[in-house]
Structure 1
Amino acid sequence: MVKRRWHCKPGVQPTEFDKKIMHLENQGVLVPTRQLVKTPEQIEGIRRSGVVNTGVLDLIEKEIHEGMSTLEIDKLCREYCEAHGAIPACLNYEGFPMSVCTSINEVVCHGIPKATDILEEGDIINVDFTTILDGYYADASRMFIIGETTPEKKQLVEVTKECLEIGMEAAKPWGFVGEIGKAIEKHAKKYHYGVVRDLCGHGVGLKFHEEPEVCHFAQKHPGMLLVPGMVFTIEPMINMGTWEVFVDADDPYGWEVITEDEKPSAQWEHTLLMTEHGVEILSH
């Protein structure tokens, strides 16, 4: 017997929604499991977590400045989160020692806050925070430019945000996750940028990382079917040079990811709910 990803409970009549998904699964389409389609109650829980998560990044947008250490950023994020009854998801996650990821210039992602990392004029930095509120997760990141930077870095930050927006437009109900990466890579290539392949967006909400994987580059297979009720992140990591990356050998925790050619990288991330009409932003 073939094990179905989508099934109804014994004795429960399938709805039209169920029938549509099962019909597509019978045609060989990779469909979500029922657990990936959130209930209205779960969506409201994730939405509340998203409000706190967005508030954290709003605070950093107001406070970030030249001369600030990334350790200070971590303190602000943690205190805001805890003051709103929430928990920083990154703290102690698989050995990650801090509450937030602070990735400067050539650090692609998972930068660890440090007292010795002082923001300088011209730096670009990604601040990536995930909130747990009442068991529900929300995840987002933003880029910040410290003072005046080079035209090249400014363009990278702007184009990466455009990649996120284009990926959101490509995410359609009853479409496929693969369309997201195809659209993002097409835009990034106009600027000869590299799209990181080793890391991706992901389902989120009841866990930190759920299905589906949301790749940001074109792939041969269409990926998972996107249906209303799914919650996931799109978080393109766009490099000024090559798409290739490595983990910093000097990082004792094994987390910090750096561009292979050590050119700058940028990333923007939203948590998104798929609806009947397209995506709704739950955290940004």
Structure 2
Amino acid sequence: MSIPLMKDGEIERLRLAGRAAAGTLAYVASKLAPGITTADIDAWVREDTARRGGTPSQLGYKGFPAAVCTSRNHVVCHGIPRPDERLMPGDIVNVDVTTCLNGFHGDTSATFLIGEVSAKARHVVDVARRCRDAGIAVVRHGAKLGDIGAAIQELAHQEGCSVVSEFGGHGIGHQMHGPPHVSHVGKKGTGITLRSGMVLTIEPMVNLGRADIRVLPDGWTVLTADGSLSAQFEHTVLITRDGYEVLTLPPEDFRSA
């Protein structure tokens, strides 16, 4: 397994792609409200990505039919936007944006609260965000890949939640998905050694109930098997000599994600 180590010029272009993706996610977040459809979100992603000079990496990827994944309530990931799927007060929805800009990709997602939500919904969203941040916090040159999953899994279990193991983060750069696979469950001190210049996504999917999942006949939409709520947050992260750099930080006026 050959994992690219990004050089200075490549890193700068990755920064630009990451900022573009983060900007589009923030733009969409500013427009979310009860009554809008997930197809509206898809249209906004296409519009804003183009305005920033990029293209949606997800559109057409292995046949995926949309420019963004919109995963609502008990949808774990890869939800397909639809004109008949309308956001309602009390919903939570993950919006997953990937932008290709100048041949490099930036990948980020966040789960948003629509109107007043239940305490359980608020809890799983909060835990998912903190799990992402716990995984990022252990990243450094010389750490082990398994340290990421171990940190995420420990926090989720402490909070009474579970972590989906069938999907994970990934290497990113010239390709949207590349090695290594970044598991969000694992054992500390195991796996490959992380090196400065590697770029990964860390994107735990946290369920309020069991970790089991099922996939709809469309081949994309992943649901919690028990119908419980699921939330996810994602950043693209560069490993540095001193630790890490998050390449998909949201704009200064939108720091909740």
Q: CA deviation at 1:219?
A: 4.0
Structure 1 SS opposite 2:45: helix
Structure 2 contact 147–189 (Cα < 8 Å) conserved: no
Q: CA deviation at 1:51?
A: 1.2
Partner of 1:278: 243
For 1:234, the aligned partner's letter is I
Q: CA deviation at 1:276?
A: 1.1
Alignment partner of 1:269 out of 227, 231, 234: 234
RMSD between aligned residues: 1.2
Distance 1:220 1:143 in 2: 27
Write the deviation string for residues 150-194 of structure 1: whole angstroms up to 9, x where unpaired. Answer: 001101100110101111111121111100000110000012211
Write the deviation string for residues 229-257 of structure 1: whole angstroms up to 9, x where unpaired. Answer: 110100000001111111013x3xx1000
> After the TM superposition, which parts of structure 1 deviate over 6 Å for at least 4 consecutive aligned residues?
none
Structure 2 SS opposite 1:36: coil
**Structure with the greater alpha carbon radius of gyration:** 1
Q: When the two structures are aligned, how many residues end up with a matched partner? A: 249
Write the deviation string for residues 21-57 of structure 1: whole angstroms up to 9, x where unpaired. Answer: xxxxxxxxxxxx3x51011111111111111101101
For 2:243, the aligned partner's letter is G
Partner of 2:6: 38
The TM-score normalised by the length of structure 1 is 0.85
The TM-score normalised by the length of structure 2 is 0.94
Structure 2 contact 147–187 (Cα < 8 Å) conserved: no
Partner of 1:53: 21
For 2:50, the aligned partner's letter is E
Gaps of 5+ in 1: 6-32
Partner of 2:97: 129
Matched, 1:142 2:110: yes
Q: CA deviation at 1:205?
A: 0.9
Structure 2 contact 144–188 (Cα < 8 Å) conserved: no
Partner of 2:76: 108
For 1:266, the aligned partner's letter is A
Work out the percentage of aligned pairs sharing the same amino acid: 40
Partner of 2:158: 190
Distance 2:54 2:133 in 1: 28
Write the deviation string for residues 132-153 of structure 1: whole angstroms up to 9, x where unpaired. Answer: 0011011000110000100011
Distance 2:246 2:138 in 1: 14
Structure 2 SS opposite 1:53: helix
Gaps of 5+ in 2: 250-257
Matched, 1:216 2:181: no
